[in-house]
Amino acid sequence: MSDGAPSALRLSNIVRVYDQNIGKLEVLRGASCTIQAGELVALVGPSGSGKSTLLHIAGLLEQPTRGKVEIAGVEAGGLDDGGRTALRRETIGFVYQFHRLLPEFSALENIVVPQMIAGKSRKEAGERAQVLLDRVGLAARASHRPGKLSGGEQQRVAIARALANAPALLLADEPTGNLDPKTAEDVFAVLRELIAETKLGALIATHNLDLARRMDRVIELKDGFLIDA
């Protein structure tokens, strides 16, 4: 799938230990995985197993206690805070269970904002936002604020926003977990189609095993390690 391109994500022996009053809590004990460009991978595991922690580390929102994180061929461990922020902004898109759209902005503006932060002009960002909204079937809802959109529409805007800066890696934490089955199916279909088109790598944490089985591969987080499921 990679055609010689660097992996979208490579985690090598990731350990994450939290210091608590009662002692140390070891959430990740040596988790390793590689996500290739164009690959859609499901991350499964029981609640409390550390899936969100793993995604935060993969997304450069949290640093591991030990181990190496490589995004699109760039090793993040040697970067300072500014370098990590730039790498995250330029190469990673996020989709959460709750859309986290800015309520005071329209659907279009929610997709424009991250592009302008990355340095695009308002015109260029607006044109790409309109293309993405059309791609997720919401061109007619561009001027609507999140409060006027259904749950499925909000998540489709969130997916479009995550793709706004053409990332190499998409990370999603239960992106359909707050939706009814039919809406979840529709959102997943859009997500899968866009990943196939853009050839980015995607790691999707989910409790929906039916959706997980329809991805390219399933990995399970168990006892702090990642194993093929």
**pLDDT tens column, 130-174:** 999 998 889 999 999 999 999 889 988 999 999 999 999 999 998
Lowest average pLDDT, out of 3-12, 117-126, 141-150, goes to 3-12
Q: How many domains does the chain have?
A: 1
pLDDT (0 to 100) of residue 4: 62
Q: Give the domain extent around 167.
A: 9-103+146-228
The DSSP bridge partners found for residue 71 are 9, 74
CA atoms of 31 and 37, how far apart (whole Å):
20
Asked whether residue 59 is domain-assigned, the answer is yes
119 assigned to some structural domain: no
In a domain, 22, yes or no: yes
Helix 107-117 to helix 122-135 angle (10° resolution) is 130
Q: Is residue 117 assigned to a domain?
A: no
- 15 belongs to a structural domain: yes
User: Does residue 173 belong to any structural domain of this protein?
Assistant: yes
Residues 108, 171: Cα–Cα separation, whole Å: 21
Residue range 41-87, pLDDT digits in tens: 999 998 889 999 999 999 999 999 999 999 999 999 889 999 999 99
Q: Which amino acid is at 54?
A: L
The predicted model scores a pTM of: 0.90
Tell me the CATH number at 56. 3.40.50.300
